């Protein structure tokens, strides 16, 4: 709205670094119909099987050790390739504006979406919520499996790496360096590849104080080389969706994250009568983009304490 003060441009907007989109793999070329959801088959479990993935030749053992071992065990199935699914969701920005004096409503809606969508994507990916309903699969804060109508796994249950269901009660928080160590050890036993550690932004100062993460180019990483997704939209809630309280906060680990996203779509171009709300004489511009996101194999969770000083 014009008045007696000088009209100037607003400050420029710079998106935050190190969020989920900074670590998410976006394969190309994209499959034609991914926006109706995807099914994929991760190769999982070969490290978890322990001695089942190791054997020996009897003659070599006899020559080197001077004794006769029992017969070597039979080979067994030691990995799985079961199908998993991921469901799409859409981020959007609606811009309701006056029909007078505004030249680029479409451009403003697109700019609004570009500013908001990283947070929206992270919140949906952590909570599973879109439009107030749990429809985003898979997501991080989950304690039960979900299968689709054909039996394909949409959602895994996060495994608590402390091995106890009591984490979160007073006095039972895990220090940040212990929490990260537990997550990475579980991830290595499950995956043994570069995975993703998912942390809310409020944990980063504590992790930095301990020196357990570092920047490598455009990505944040742990000392073990796992990538860190620092989510402004990550709320720190538990696998049972319990809210973060006090100095406690949940963090998660998954295998590599991948996904697809559509080009930005504007529902009503500037010249379209469909963009005009005649009741209020305002123009509605909706910019939107659809995502589908999945991960490879593993899914772990741990609750940690914020701001624990060194030496405690």
Question: How does pLDDT run across 89-106, given as a tens digit for each residue?
Answer: 999 998 776 665 556 778
In the chain, how many domains are there?
2
Q: Are 74 and 170 contained in the same domain?
A: no
Q: Are 58 and 113 contained in the same domain?
A: no
Q: Are 72 and 89 contained in the same domain?
A: no
Measured from the Cβ of residue 211, the count of other Cβ atoms closer than 10 Å reads 10
Domain containing 218 equals: 82-263+289-305
Q: Are 206 and 231 contained in the same domain?
A: yes
- pTM of the predicted structure, to 2 decimals: 0.87
Any domain includes 219: yes
pLDDT at position 26 is: 95
Show the tokens assigned to 52.
């089942």
Any domain includes 28: no
pLDDT of 169 over the 50 cut: no
Nearest of 281, 239, 288 to residue 265 by alpha carbon? 288
Q: Are 256 and 139 contained in the same domain?
A: yes
Strand partners for 238: none
Confidence of residue 81 (pLDDT cuts 50, 70, 90): confident
Any domain includes 280: no
Measured from the Cβ of residue 129, the count of other Cβ atoms closer than 10 Å reads 16
- Give the up-direction half-sphere exposure of residue 49: CA atoms within 13 A in the CB hemisphere: 13
Q: Are 232 and 89 contained in the same domain?
A: yes
Q: Are 165 and 301 contained in the same domain?
A: yes
pLDDT of 170 over the 50 cut: no
Confidence of residue 306 (pLDDT cuts 50, 70, 90): confident
- Give the up-direction half-sphere exposure of residue 240: CA atoms within 13 A in the CB hemisphere: 7
Task: Please give the residue that has the higher pLDDT: either 64 or 266.
Answer: 266
| SS3 category, 230 | strand
């Amino acid at each position: 709205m014009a008045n007696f003060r000088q009209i100037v441009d607003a400050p420029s907007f710079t998106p935050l670094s190190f969020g989920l989109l900074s670590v998410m793999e976006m394969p190309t070329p994209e499959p034609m119909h991914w926006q109706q959801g995807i099914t994929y088959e991760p190769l999982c479990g070969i490290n978890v099987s322990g001695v089942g993935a190791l054997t020996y030749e009897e003659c070599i053992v006899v020559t080197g050790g001077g004794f006769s071992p029992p017969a070597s065990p039979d080979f067994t199935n030691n990995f799985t390739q079961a199908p998993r699914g991921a469901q799409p969701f859409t981020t959007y920005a609606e811009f309701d504006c006056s029909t007078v004096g505004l030249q680029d409503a479409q451009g403003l809606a697109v700019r609004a979406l570009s500013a908001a969508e990283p947070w929206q994507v992270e919140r949906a990916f952590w909570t599973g919520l879109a439009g107030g309903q749990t429809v985003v699969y898979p997501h991080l804060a989950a304690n039960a499996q979900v299968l689709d109508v054909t039996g394909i796994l949409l959602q895994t249950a996060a495994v608590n790496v402390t091995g106890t269901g009591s984490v979160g009660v007073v006095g039972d928080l895990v220090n940040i360096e212990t929490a990260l160590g537990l997550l990475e050890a579980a991830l290595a036993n499950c995956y043994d590849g570069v995975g993703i550690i998912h942390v809310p932004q409020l944990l980063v100062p504590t992790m930095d104080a301990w020196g357990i993460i570092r920047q490598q180019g455009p990505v944040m990483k742990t000392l073990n080389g796992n990538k860190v997704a620092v989510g402004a939209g990550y709320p720190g809630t538990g696998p049972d969706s319990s809210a973060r309280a006090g100095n406690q906060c949940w963090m998660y680990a998954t295998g590599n994250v991948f996904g697809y996203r559509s080009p930005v779509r504007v529902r009503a171009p500037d010249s379209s009568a469909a963009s005009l709300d005649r009741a209020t004489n305002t123009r509605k511009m909706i910019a939107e983009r659809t995502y589908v996101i999945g991960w490879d194999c593993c899914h772990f969770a741990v609750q940690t304490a914020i701001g624990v000083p060194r030496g405690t």
